[in-house]
Amino acid sequence: MLRLYFALTFGTVLAAAAPGVDFNREVRPILSDNCFHCHGPDSATRMANLRLDTEEGARKAIEAGNSAKSRLFVRVSHAKKPLRMPPPASGLSLTDAQVDTLKRWIDEGAKWDEHWAYRAPKRPAPPVVNAKSWVKNPVDLFLLARLEREGLKPAKAAPRETLIRRLSFDLTGLPPTPEEVAAFVNDRATGAYERLVDRLLASPHYGERMAMEWLDLARYADTHGFHIDSHRDMWPWRDWLIRAFNRNQPFDQFTVEQIAGDLLPDATLDQKIASGFNRNHMINFEGGAIPEEYQTEYVVDRVDATATVWMGLTMGCARCHDHKYDPISQKDFYRFAAFFNTTSEEGLDGRYGNAKPFLPLPNEAQQQRLDAIDAKTEARRAELDDEVIELLLRRWQRERFDHVPASPVRGLRAWYELDGNLSDISGQFRHGRVLTGDIAFGAGSIRNGANFDSATVAEFPASALDVSRPFSVSVWVRAGRQQGQPILQQLELSSGGMKGFELALAKPRTLPRLRRGHPVEIRLLGGDPGRALIVRSRDYVFLQNDNHHLSVTGDGSGRAAGLRLFVDGKPVALDVVQDTLPEGFRVEAPLTIGAAKAGAPFKGRIDDLRFYDRPLGEGEVEQLAVRYPVEVVLATPGKRNRETAGALRDYYLKHEAPEQFREAYRELLALREERIDLVEEIPTVMVMDEAETPRDTYVLGRGDYTQKGEKVLPGVPAMLPPLPSGEKANRLTLARWLTSPEHPLTARVAVNRYWQMLFGFGIVKTSEDFGSQGEPPVHQELLDWLAVEFVESGWDVKGLIRLIVTSAAYQQQSQVTPELLERDPENRLLARGPRRRLPAEMVRDNALAASGLLVKTIGGPSVLPYQPPGLWEELAFGEAFTAQEYEQDHGDKLYRRAMYTFWKRTAPPASLVTFDAPDREKCTSRRAVTNTPLQALVTLNDPTYVEAARHLAARVLSDVSARNDDMRLRKAFQLVTARLPQAQELRVLRGALAHQVGAYQRDPEAARALLAVGEKPAEAAIEAPRLAAWTNICTILLNLDESVTKE
């Protein structure tokens, strides 16, 4: 369809552009679309041993100068349908115009030409034009020559208000302020426009604007993707990207650092961070997934992204077979993949954040603290001489066994050692039983323990625990990383909901806390949500996959003040979540472990479970948590393992060693804890590296990781220049090869993409595909001239941008005439200036900037602004993972630039997706531009836009320089559009304002409701009906086509 559209739109124009048929522009697209599938590069589907993608192959079916004797023409024009090509079964057919093109091309001599994109560009001489006075730089010469051939004239220069707004969005992504507009409009000195360009290129927001485009290419996101789609931290790479653009890093170095920054000699931290480009892909760690399968997927993604971003090639089409249209074999694909199959990453990783390999990124203060902690740690370790400690420990074991006090037994209602069974050894005969599944008994914290999987449930008599009276629970627990799982439950279903007791690991809220551990919750549930007693540990005290002793005591009062929690023998501070348990609360349900009556089923190990009918004292809890395990270890010396021996040594150093050792050990433990807490505050970023033993790469049959064929070494497609001889075939060599002057694609693809950014489309519209299926360049000589200029300038990105935006073509007004709309509806010839709806991020940023709400802080972690409730939760994958529930940020974070919005791949920011932002699961070279009613629903109702309208209203109403409503309307209009309203526009706004004021004066409650939207309080000094009316007027302005469009 793209080819057909191109032909229909430009067929007449192109025919007039050259005396004969142009092979690359007219013939190759016909052959590629209709013939290459059966007569192209892929030998597996090639028919009749005929190739039409190479000159050598095509000559077998062509007699140059005589179409009547050419088998190609005879078959595509055959009168009998069954003998006509393409065959009817293919669903393809040539139009009469296409058949005629092939006929003329053959009769003219069938001149064959290599595909234009695979030849290194050469700088063409700029053409001669008639209207020389219009030309501002060489870019205009190429464009104007084409317009003059077509009998078209360029448009007039755009008004200065339009120019500064266009330029401001294109170079910073932000609108100009009224002061900036006025300064430019009034600056009539020579070079005013060029000075404006230079000022905007020097803006720190230039880097943000340029990074916006690259984030799509790099498939940047804040989550891993796939079903679980949990949190990752790649924002330091995004910060590097902004810095790289702001310092105008040459594009060749920019390329090298992203593909192979880690391989550079003496690579800096920044260069290593840059290599994170190829860690932005999706990552999986789901249960049942196969590591080798996903390792293959990661490598394939890197091939796709690298080929698309730097070469405009669809190399992914050669994963399963030879490319159907371009000269890329399946072997070429896997040779290219071999460059990226050398990292130390794991196939399944990232469950708890960033996947290996990653770099910690401490700031200066954090590094100083780390160094200080490490120095102190080494000093304390030196004081704890291992040989001396071991000698003292052995002596103590011989001499002090009798000094270990017994564990408490008074008030003991039930005691389950769980040493191979569920028997109660307290003498009360309250034995437990297995309800479902099988308990695996194995080495525990004391002796053996009961291991529960998510399918196992054990039950104990209700009489073992009565939480309506004084009680204590003591238990050793080793839990996995499953969040929100109950350890013990004593629940029954009442008419209003669950009733009973729970001891549970609550769900941590942030990623670092998920790594660190769980808070613990004690819940007494009264049967409905409003009647409960819930307390929660203030700190995240329970570490995953570690043994911990938990003890809960209660005085039977049914109040939060009567509950205490101990972890590893130490009391823990509690926060009261709810304290509304009704009088007379009782529960008679049996106790269960592993049931999923509420929350996730328990998965982990339980050991030495005890229930008492009194609150234990602190000393007694410490005895159960600290001394009793030692008692057991000392009593069973023949059964010690590394874990129990370590526990014994730990106990000795804490409680029994000479004072100087106890003090040194206490300090050492404190330093370890301090270091753990500090490390969790330090951000990390995923990067590339080289494994000590790189994996072998094979051609995979049908792209299946299990079908390994020929082993291959790193290499590049044969139709491109070879790698430099004598260099190691690694990513660094690949990156330098991409930016070598001989490479035909990299510079063309880069300048085309920057052209696309500024004009809305590339010189090659299919910026992701420069191959046979891509659209030919509309201005090929201009593309080649720019590519050579770019390379010879030292790959100067700011210089290239400056060259384009200072052209007369860029500065044209964008109004379209009926003639131009008919002849060039997409403005590919550029007889008028660029006009295109703003990208999603700029639509939002424009509203916030106009209102004065925008927070322009650059860089840092992603933020969570307003979002419709429940979007993440609809796709949530249990409570065991991060980024499953959306917890909105507050304060300044609500008003950061949209590019910093947290990007969850399975549920990307709703308001941005509505304006065509991608999900970033894959590399995106160009966004679609749609026009749907949903977009108006966003800008009319999203709290961001409603709040922006209200703040804009307050801004103009509080402006002392605006002395009447007409002045205020002009001010608001200018803040949104950068120009003043025309008289008719002002009349419409004046009438709308009067209507809105009247409506809200009659309904002040509606005014208050409107002003309550958003977090920032409404301006109290402005009457509610007046502010609400002006809010609606500003909403109208923010919804103008002109406000969401780059004119």
What pTM did the predictor assign?
A: 0.86
Is the same domain home to 655 and 517? no
Q: What is the pLDDT of residues 135-173, one digit of tens each?
A: 999 999 999 999 999 999 999 999 999 999 999 999 999
In this prediction, residue 514 carries a pLDDT of 54
Residue 402 has pLDDT above 60, yes or no: no
The angle subtended at Cα 488 by Cα 487 and Cα 493, nearest 5°, is: 125
Q: What is the pLDDT of residues 421-460, one digit of tens each?
A: 999 999 999 999 999 988 988 776 667 789 988 789 999 9
In this prediction, residue 1 carries a pLDDT of 40
In this prediction, residue 633 carries a pLDDT of 64
At 14, the pLDDT band (50, 70, 90 cuts) reads very low
| 380 and 646 Cβ atoms separated by less than 8 Å | no
Residue 252 has pLDDT above 90, yes or no: yes
| 403 and 393 Cβ atoms separated by less than 8 Å | no
Residue located via tokens 């079916």: 61
In this prediction, residue 527 carries a pLDDT of 87
Cβ-in-10-Å burial (0-12, 13-18, 19+) of 845 comes to: buried
Question: Which residue blocks in 307-363 are alpha helix, DSSP H?
Answer: 330-337
In this prediction, residue 11 carries a pLDDT of 41
Residue 515 has pLDDT above 80, yes or no: no
Residue 451 in domain: no
Is the same domain home to 493 and 504? yes
Residue 453 in domain: no
| Listed residues 656, 682, 708: the one ending a domain | 682
In this prediction, residue 5 carries a pLDDT of 40
Q: What is the pLDDT of residues 51-109, one digit of tens each?
A: 999 888 889 999 999 999 999 999 999 988 888 999 988 889 999 999 999 999 999 99
C-alpha count within 13 angstroms, C-beta hemisphere, residue 777: 25
Residue 597 in domain: yes
Is the same domain home to 9 and 105? yes
In this prediction, residue 43 carries a pLDDT of 84
What is the distance between the terminal CA atoms of the chain, rounded to a whole angstrom? 29
At 948, the pLDDT band (50, 70, 90 cuts) reads very high
| Listed residues 113, 132, 159: the one ending a domain | 113
Q: What is the pLDDT of residues 628-647, one digit of tens each?
A: 767 666 666 666 667 677 77
The angle subtended at Cα 932 by Cα 929 and Cα 936, nearest 5°, is: 110
CATH number (domain holding residue 555): 2.60.120.200
At 650, the pLDDT band (50, 70, 90 cuts) reads confident
Is the same domain home to 519 and 559? yes
Residue 183 in domain: no
Residue 264 in domain: no
Residue 12 has pLDDT above 50, yes or no: no
Q: What is the pLDDT of residues 850-895, one digit of tens each?
A: 999 999 999 999 999 999 999 999 988 866 688 999 999 999 999 9
Range of 990's domain?
941-1046
The angle subtended at Cα 143 by Cα 248 and Cα 154, nearest 5°, is: 110
User: Which percentage of the chain shows pLDDT scores above 90?
Assistant: 77
- Return the minimum-mean-pLDDT range out of 5-9, 279-283, 470-474, 763-767: 5-9
Residue 754 in domain: no
Give the mean pLDDT of 812-839. 94
User: Which percentage of the chain shows pLDDT scores above 70?
Assistant: 93
Is the same domain home to 607 and 633? no
In this prediction, residue 651 carries a pLDDT of 79
In this prediction, residue 7 carries a pLDDT of 42
Number of domains in the chain: 5
Residue 935 in domain: no
Q: What is the pLDDT of residues 778-795, one digit of tens each?
A: 999 999 999 999 999 999
Residue located via tokens 């005014």: 1007
Is the same domain home to 15 and 96? yes
Helix H or strand E encompassing 332 = helix 330-337
Q: What is the pLDDT of residues 165-202, one digit of tens each?
A: 999 999 999 999 999 999 999 999 999 999 999 999 99
Is the same domain home to 300 and 369? no
Which DSSP symbol is given to 225? -
In this prediction, residue 398 carries a pLDDT of 72
In this prediction, residue 13 carries a pLDDT of 41
Residue 406 has pLDDT above 80, yes or no: no
| Listed residues 698, 720, 742: the one ending a domain | 720
Is the same domain home to 539 and 663? no
Is the same domain home to 569 and 655? no
Residue 57 in domain: yes
- Return the minimum-mean-pLDDT range out of 235-249, 389-403, 407-421: 389-403
Is the same domain home to 301 and 369? no
In this prediction, residue 986 carries a pLDDT of 97
- List phi, psi (to 5°) of 1037: -65, -40
| Dihedral sign (CA 353, 356, 357, 362) | positive
The whole-angstrom distance between residue 517's C-alpha and the CA centroid of its chain comes to 25
Give the mean pLDDT of 995-1021. 96
Is the same domain home to 577 and 527? yes
Is the same domain home to 1031 and 976? yes
